[in-house]
Amino acid sequence: MLLQALEAVTGTMPADLRYAVMSSHFGGQALSKLGQLQTPGIVYLSGRALLNFDPRWYNEIEAITRAEEHLLTKTRADLEPAAKNNQVTIAIDTTQQNRVVGCIVLWELERDRQGVLWYELGTFVVAPDHRYKARGPKAMPIGDALYRLLLHQHRNKNIIGTTTNIHAIHTGLRHGMQMVSYHDLPPDIHTATCICPFSKTGAEDNAHCTIKNLKCRVRVSYPTWVRMGQPTRLSFPS
């Protein structure tokens, strides 16, 4: 009840105050808890709990990611080091023999010129039959809960998220991600994230990518945006 009240109160705050509360230690903790309460039967695993879980989850994530056009396929070789670094969170459905129904990962990206390591939020996926829109009156915000947990746990890290998927953009908006221009990223981070193939970018040199800041958007977490010096925000596509 108290948690719902917090959500209601933050919903009425001016945007920047709301983002600051959401990304604070206690605000983030409370909203993460709320996300778990709103998804009964779903358990979120990361850190030691994930490493101790049945390793079949690696194959399940591989199959889920292989089926998605917006995602790179991720195998155990990719996932295990990230899981050991506590950068992977999965959602399992305890009412369906602990089937994996969602995932979010913080991938190490590059260091900027000050030596600060930046991370890219990725492998964000909810199994098609568990997506919010797919469940009608039984809708559960599993994607939101994964997002909240990850942003809360890693609020002291510099995090970017790039995507061409409008649903992922909307999820980010609900959690205070700030849409900036690719050109506002530190140069090394910009170069490190723009590694899409010609078939996607229409350019041999990704400095001239034809979808950058248009169909393809970069967002940064609110604390990252503050640390960047609050660059101009671009409007979100609807």
Ligand X SMILES: CC(C)(COP(=O)(O)OP(=O)(O)OC[C@H]1O[C@@H](n2cnc3c(N)ncnc32)[C@H](O)[C@@H]1OP(=O)(O)O)[C@@H](O)C(=O)NCCC(=O)NCCS
- Taking residues 139 to 178 in sequence order and writing x for each that binds ligand X by CB under 6 A, - otherwise, the string is --xxxx------------------x-xxxx-xx-------
Question: Is residue 84 helix, strand or coil?
Answer: helix
From 21, 30, 34, 71, residue interacting with ligand X (rule: CB under 6 A)? 71
**Nearest of 55, 44, 58, 121 to residue 87 by alpha carbon:** 121
Residue nearest to ligand X (CB): 143
User: In the complex, what is the shortest distance from the CB of residue 163 to ligand X, in angstroms, rounded to a whole number?
Assistant: 4
As a whole number of Å, the CA-based R_g of the chain is: 18
Stretch that binds ligand X, among 54-62, 73-81, 124-132, 220-228 (CB under 6 A): 124-132
User: In the complex, what is the shortest distance from the CB of residue 50 to ligand X, in angstroms, rounded to a whole number?
Assistant: 19
Give dist(CA 40, CA 13) in Å, integer.
28
* 3-class SS letters over 131-174: CHHHHHHHCCCHHHHHHHHHHHHCCCCEEEEEECCHHHHHHHHH
Interacting residues of 12 by C-beta distance below 8 A, sequence separation 6+: none
Contact flag: residue 132 with ligand X (CB under 6 A): yes
- Taking residues 8 to 47 in sequence order and writing x for each that binds ligand X by CB under 6 A, - otherwise, the string is ----------------------------------------
Give dist(CA 22, CA 1) in Å, integer.
18
Residues lying near ligand X in the complex (CB under 6 A) are found at 68, 70-71, 124-126, 131-133, 141-144, 163, 165-168, 170-171
